[in-house]
């Protein structure tokens, strides 16, 4: 009994509840005779394509700025990088790499400015971050219209030569699914997107190595106890700046990975609420506003995406009335996010 209690404490009650919920859904799906092979493949794909985005939360939490609700700053840099790479004419694998190569310096610059702001509002990072996200997304809504992109595949076919970027930019004849299909194999009706998951795990590995470096230790000390850090001769502002920049860069890389799997870059209002699923994922994984580990990122992303992927077809079949599916999608995903946010107080001993 004691041992059981200890185990429950180690895993955390929220995770047990979520896993139980997931099992109920899986059983329901089996009963409904859903195509389990497709569902499992979808879960793996969504897990892989969201991993880097969730990982972006880690440096921010580590440096003590809390969850990075300003993630759209990074997302926009990533999208811009992707679009520029297409405009220049890079295609396929080179296009994907070039998208990142272009996006990363943009993200460093944007992260620097965002970090300046974060350092000016110590204590309110999450609230301010949320609104920074909203503000830059709206700003870029104008940007997408006036930026001088010329590729006819990307701009509205209106006026003489056309102007203004389309709201979705397809990657179908470009690097759509290039990571997903890399080393992909099928086993028992389940397609495993090896390349995609590998990329996510490598990113996690790099962040793990970073956390063990001198800079990483500084970040962690600042996040755990800023006063200790000051007394130890660590610059709190610099560390928070590094954490913010890193988080923004991971956001930029994350959205490019996400887009290659999704098949589209989504512009305009699409990035508006994209900070919430990664936040919810790491919180479900056991992270708090102060502690976030790689294990939280991987476990949380998997649980969150698995729940979303399985809940929708199951709910659709339970309530097959036409317009309800979209409503249910919103209720389920926001419900899970809400539940995750209520857990953000943390359990101390996790």
Partner 1 sequence: MNENTPVLSMQNIEKAYYGNKVLKGVSLEVMPGEIHAICGENGAGKSTLMNILFGMPVIHNTGGFSGTISMDGEQVSIKHPSDAMKLGIGMVHQEFMLIPGFSIAENIKLNREPRKNGLLSTIFGKKLQKLDEDKMKSDSRAALDKLGLDVDEDIPVAGLPVGYMQFIEIAREIDKENVKVLVFDEPTAVLTESEAASLLAAMKKLAAEGVGILFISHRLDEVIDAADKVTIMRDGTWITTLNKKDTTMEHIAELMVGRKIDLSQKEESAKIDTSKVALSIRNMKVAMPGEVVRGLDLDVYKGEILGLGGLAGQGKIGVANGLMGIYPTEGEIMVGDKKLTLNNPKASIEAKLSFVSEDRRGVGLIPDTSIEMNMVIPAIVNQNRFLKKFGFMSQYDADAIRKNAENYIKELDIRCTGPTQPVRRLSGGNQQKVCIARALLLQPDVLLISEPTRGIDVGAKSLVLDTVVKLNKEYGLTVIMTSSELAELRLICDRIAIVTGGKITDILKPDDSDAKFGMAMSGISGKDGE
Best CA proximity match to 282, nearest among 310, 254, 242, 315: 254
Q: Does 231 bind partner 1 (CB under 8 A)?
A: yes
Q: How many residues bind partner 1 (CB under 8 A)?
A: 19
d(CA 335, CA 325): 15
CB 51 within 8 A of CB 304: no
Q: Does 225 bind partner 1 (CB under 8 A)?
A: yes
Task: Write down the residue that tokens 């679009």 correspond to.
Answer: 83
In the complex with partner 1, the residue whose CB is nearer, 169 or 218, is 218
Task: Please state the closest distance from residue 213 (CB atom) to partner 1, in A.
Answer: 5
Q: Does 209 bind partner 1 (CB under 8 A)?
A: yes
User: Applying CB under 8 A, which of residues 185, 214, 322, 323 lies at the interface with partner 1?
Assistant: 214
User: Applying CB under 8 A, which of residues 26, 113, 121, 217 lies at the interface with partner 1?
Assistant: 217
Site for partner 1 in 253-292 (CB under 8 A): 291
Q: Does 228 bind partner 1 (CB under 8 A)?
A: yes
Q: Does 242 bind partner 1 (CB under 8 A)?
A: no
d(CA 284, CA 39): 21
Q: Does 17 bind partner 1 (CB under 8 A)?
A: no
User: Applying CB under 8 A, which of residues 192, 204, 221, 283 lies at the interface with partner 1?
Assistant: 221
Task: Put residue 33 in one of left, alpha, beta given phi > 0 → left and psi -120 to 50 → alpha.
Answer: left
User: Applying CB under 8 A, which of residues 18, 96, 118, 218 lies at the interface with partner 1?
Assistant: 218
Task: Please state the closest distance from residue 242 (CB atom) to partner 1, in A.
Answer: 13
DSSP 87-141: HHT--HHHHHHHHHHHHHHHHHHHHHHHHHHHHHTTT-HHHHHHHHHHHHHHHHH
Q: Which stretch binds partner 1 (CB under 8 A): 108-116, 124-132, 206-214, 267-275?
A: 206-214
Q: Does 316 bind partner 1 (CB under 8 A)?
A: no
CB 281 within 8 A of CB 300: yes
Best CA proximity match to 75, nearest among 273, 233, 237, 213: 273
Best CA proximity match to 298, nearest among 311, 310, 314, 281: 281
3-class DSSP string for 159-181: CCCCCCECCEEECCCCCCCHHHH
User: Applying CB under 8 A, which of residues 124, 224, 326, 347 lies at the interface with partner 1?
Assistant: 224
User: Applying CB under 8 A, which of residues 11, 108, 198, 234 lies at the interface with partner 1?
Assistant: 234
Q: Does 212 bind partner 1 (CB under 8 A)?
A: yes
What are 139's two structure tokens?
């700003």
CB 132 within 8 A of CB 153: no
Q: Which stretch binds partner 1 (CB under 8 A): 26-34, 72-80, 185-193, 221-229?
A: 221-229
Q: Does 207 bind partner 1 (CB under 8 A)?
A: no
Residue 191, H or E segment: strand 190-192
In the complex with partner 1, the residue whose CB is nearer, 154 or 221, is 221
Task: Please state the closest distance from residue 10 (CB atom) to partner 1, in A.
Answer: 14
Q: Does 326 bind partner 1 (CB under 8 A)?
A: no
* Pattern 289-308, partner 1, x by CB under 8 A: --x-----------------
CA distances from 172 to 84, 97, 212 (A): 17, 17, 39
CB 336 within 8 A of CB 307: yes
Q: Does 187 bind partner 1 (CB under 8 A)?
A: no
Q: Does 232 bind partner 1 (CB under 8 A)?
A: yes
Q: Which stretch binds partner 1 (CB under 8 A): 42-50, 98-106, 190-198, 231-239?
A: 231-239
Q: Which residues bind partner 1 (CB under 8 A)?
A: 209, 212-214, 217-218, 220-221, 224-225, 227-228, 230-235, 291
């Amino acid at each position: 009994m004691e041992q059981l209690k200890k185990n429950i404490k180690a895993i955390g009650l929220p995770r047990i509840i979520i896993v139980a919920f997931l099992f109920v859904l899986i059983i329901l799906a089996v009963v409904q005779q859903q195509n389990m092979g497709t569902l499992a493949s979808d879960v793996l794909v969504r897990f892989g394509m969201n991993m880097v985005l969730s990982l972006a939360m880690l440096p921010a939490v580590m440096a003590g700025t809390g969850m990075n609700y300003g993630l759209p700053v990074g997302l926009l840099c990533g999208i811009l990088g992707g679009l520029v790479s297409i405009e220049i004419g890079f295609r396929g694998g080179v296009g994907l790499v070039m998208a990142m190569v272009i996006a990363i310096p943009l993200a460093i610059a944007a992260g620097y400015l965002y970090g300046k702001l974060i350092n000016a509002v110590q204590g309110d990072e999450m609230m301010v971050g949320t609104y920074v996200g909203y503000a830059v997304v709206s700003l870029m809504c104008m940007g997408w219209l006036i930026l001088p992109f010329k590729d006819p595949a990307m701009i509205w076919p209106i006026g003489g030569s056309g102007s203004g970027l389309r709201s979705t930019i397809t990657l179908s004849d470009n690097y759509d699914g290039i990571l997903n299909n890399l080393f992909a194999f099928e086993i028992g009706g389940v397609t495993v997107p090896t390349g995609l998951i590998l990329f996510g795990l490598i990113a996690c590995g790099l962040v793990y190595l970073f956390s063990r470096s001198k800079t990483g230790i500084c970040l962690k000390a600042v996040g755990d106890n800023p006063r200790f850090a000051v007394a130890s001769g660590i610059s709190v502002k610099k560390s928070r700046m590094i954490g913010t920049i890193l988080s923004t860069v991971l956001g930029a890389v994350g959205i490019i990975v996400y887009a290659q799997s999704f098949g589209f870059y989504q512009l305009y209002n699409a990035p508006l609420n994209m900070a919430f699923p990664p936040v919810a994922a790491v919180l479900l994984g056991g992270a708090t506003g102060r502690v976030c580990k790689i294990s939280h990122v991987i476990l949380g992303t998997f649980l969150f995406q698995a729940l979303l992927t399985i809940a929708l077809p199951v709910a659709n079949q339970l309530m097959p009335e036409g317009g309800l599916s979209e409503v249910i999608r919103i209720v389920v995903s926001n419900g899970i996010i809400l539940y995750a946010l209520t857990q953000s107080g943390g359990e101390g001993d996790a």
